[in-house]
Copies of this chain bind each other. A is one copy, B any other.
C-alpha cells in the first residue's frame, strides 16, 4: 500500500538541466498554462484541454507538480468530491518563461487570433504584462 515516492533526480547541476527535470516534459507546462491563463483548477478542467491528456498521465503529472511544489492540492469550496489545484509562487515565477515562449512562438508559428491578441499585448509592454498577470495570480494564493 506504499505509494512510490518518485525520487527527484537531477541529471546535473546545470540550471537548464535542473529546470527541465522539473517541467521539461510533454505536459507539465500545459497544465501550468491552463491554470495561469484559463482559470482551470480541477482534474476535470485539465482533462478538457485541447491537447487531450490521458487520465493516468494527468494524475501522474499533477503528482509530480505537487512534489516539485509548483501546485498545491486543496479542498474545493463547492464540493468534497472535487479537488482544487492551485499554483504556488514558484509556478507563478515561471510566467516570464511562458511569456517568452509565446513571443518565440508568435514569430515562428501561425497563432489563433485570440491568443495572438494577448501576445501582442505582452510584447508591447512585457514587464508590465508580467507584473499585472502575476499580481492577478497571486491574489488566489492570499493564504
Contacts and interface: CB of A to CB of B under 8 A. Distances in A.
The copy count of this chain in the complex is 2
Contacts of A25: 24, 26
Interface stretch (A76-84, A91-99, A132-140): A91-99
A17 interface: yes
A71 B5 CA distance: 38
Grouping DSSP codes into helix (H, G, I), strand (E, B) and loop, the A interface class, with mixed when no group exceeds half, is: helix
Given A12-B51, A15-B115, A50-B12, A100 B97 contact: yes
A74 interface: no
25 contacts: A11-B50, A11-B52, A12-B51, A13-B110, A13-B112, A15-B101, A15-B102, A15-B105, A15-B106, A15-B119, A16-B105, A17-B30, A17-B51, A18-B105, A19-B109, A20-B26, A20-B29, A24-B24, A24-B25, A24-B29, A93-B107, A93-B108, A96-B104, A97-B97, A97-B100
